[in-house]
Amino acid sequence: MGRGYVVEDTVEQYLSKLCGSEAPAVTGLLIGQSSAQRDFIVMATRTPQREGSTTASGISLDKSDLEWVTGHGRQVSRMLPGGLSVLGVFFITNTEAKDTLNTLRQLLFAVDKSISRDLLWSSTEDDVTDRVTLHINSKTRKTFCRTFDVKDPKSTAKPADWKYQSSPCASWMTVSCSLDVEIPVALPQNGRSLEHMEKCLEDGLKTWTHQIENGVCLFDGRRFPDDTELSVGQKKNMKQTLKAQLLVTPSWEPDPQPTAPVQPRGGTLSVRGAVHTRAFLHSNKPKARLAERLLKMDMVSTVAVRVQMLMEELMAEEENKGSAKHSGSDRHSLPRRVFCPVKASGPVCVCDYQFSDEGSAEVIERLKEILDLEASEGDLDAEQEQEAAEGTPERRDVAEQEEPPAETPLEPKKRSYVAVAMATAIALLASAASLLYLNDE
């Protein structure tokens, strides 16, 4: 017997609805959480349709189709808090399952590769590397479920058990933490081009990620042994929450060799602010080790995503306006995180990033476009990072002490997956306290 998949019954309803669509073929992603014994699928989302797709045959995908699906996978991955990840792909056609197995395998490996490029944390031997493919015949509604080990290029299909269940995540636990972030990054002399900035930021994020990985995590003010089973003693189907605190010590780095020449610096970058992180834990005897890892992974991901968005926007502006030039001290606001429930029973949420020139309507539109999730303004929780920022002591750095630059309000922009990506000017991370500074030295 292969891996078992416990699937939220709302996923069955969603896939059944897609089977009734007029599209000859529908691809999409399966979202959930892995555990050693079995995996949990809590959400499915179809790939946005585009003109000129060659999937009409329902059997093969060309290069542009793959790029479209993998690009969607990368955007979806950005919108998943700790504990949620893309666990597989689905394909709905009116063809036999055996005719689409190679296509599903190709999709699965391409999506995983695209998502993995953005990940900064280190893998462990406990990580589950099996991913699932699901084919549904739109006429007979028959399902065909197989898994592949995405870390093995020669992996072959293995059978898997796919079972729908009512409210499997109703008693999942939520672990949350607010973290004060400060990541200083030195730029080399004559290194203020966007390419140099991107590389320096990437290196700075890797150093900071190492600090986060080695941080000490307290739950409700206590340090638990790794194998402690987490439970707050509440009844099933009631919200279970834990507040966490992460204690981080800057990593030690050896002093430079006395004979090494001192390299002049061309300026500094500083990513600063307060972030709210959140992780969801399955109810199958979750351990403290898992809670700590998922929370740390979310911390790293949510900061890295916002920096990636900034660089994408700056690169796009450089292409449109010519070579980018920076002088003096520049300041860019980072996006504020917004949470939204997935509407299944239980605490599970997805997230988006709200920019300073946006309102709730833009967030709701992206949730629909990328996750196919219906949301209203009342569903959105945009206050978490505002509260984190208000609790952060005000600090000043070199960039603030110098003459501040005149700030030009951003013109409102439509940020859409169809326009290729949520590449955006970096807006509020925590509305008053999270910024990226760039200053000359």
Residue 183 in any domain: the answer is: yes
The number of distinct structural domains making up the chain is 2
Same domain (yes/no): 191, 303 = yes
| Interatomic CA distance for residues 24 and 35, integer angstroms | 34
Buried/exposed 155-183: b ≥16 CB within 10 Å, e otherwise: bebeebebebeeebbbbbbbbbbbbbbeb
Query: In angstroms, rounded to a whole number, what is the distance separating the alpha carbons of residues 217 and 240?
Result: 18
Beta strands in 73-172 (DSSP E): 85-93, 130-137, 143-149, 158-159, 161-165
Mention every residue, 6+ apart, whose C-beta is less than 8 A from residue 35: 128, 282, 284
Handedness of CA 279, 418, 145, 116 (dihedral sign): negative
Cβ–Cβ under 8 Å, residues 337 and 351: yes
Which residues make Cβ contacts (< 8 Å) with residue 116, sequence separation at least 6?
A: none
State the average pLDDT over residues 356-374. Answer: 93
* Domain co-membership, 130 together with 237: no
SS3 for 434?
Answer: coil
* 195 and 118 housed in the same domain: no
**Does residue 354 belong to any structural domain of this protein?**
yes
Asked whether residue 258 is domain-assigned, the answer is no
What is the rounded distance in angstroms from the CA atom of residue 159 to the CA atom of residue 143?
12
Q: Are residues 145 and 199 in the same domain?
A: no
The predicted-structure confidence for 43-90, as pLDDT tens digits, reads as follows: 999 999 886 555 444 556 788 889 999 999 999 999 999 999 999 999
Q: How confident is the model at residue 56, as a pLDDT?
A: 43
Structural domain span for residue 156:
4-165
Residue 234 binned pLDDT confidence (cut-offs 50, 70, 90): very low
Q: How far apart are CA 97 and CA 194, in angstroms?
A: 47
Share of the chain above pLDDT 70, in %: 76
Query: Are residues 45 and 185 both part of a single domain?
Result: no
- Among 165, 197, 229, give the residue marking a domain's end: 165
Q: Would residue 320 count as lying in a domain?
A: yes
CATH number, domain containing residue 18: 3.40.140.10
Same-domain status, 202 and 95 = no
CA 61 from chain centre, in angstroms, equals 26
Within this chain, do residues 38 and 129 fall inside the same structural domain, yes or no?
yes
| Tens of pLDDT, residues 322-333 | 654 544 456 677
pLDDT in tens, 135-187: 999 999 999 999 999 999 999 999 999 999 998 888 899 999 999 998 888 88
pTM: 0.83
**φ/ψ of residue 439, rounded to 5:** -140, 150
- Looking at the structure, do residues 177 and 144 belong to the same domain, yes or no? no
Q: Which residues contact 18 (CB under 8 A, 6 or more apart)?
A: 26, 28, 46, 92
Q: Is the pLDDT of residue 288 over 70?
A: yes
Q: Which of residues 107, 138, 165 is at a domain's end?
A: 165
Which residue, 131, 165, 199, sits at the end of a domain? 165
The percentage of residues in the chain with a pLDDT greater than 90, rounded to a whole number, is 48
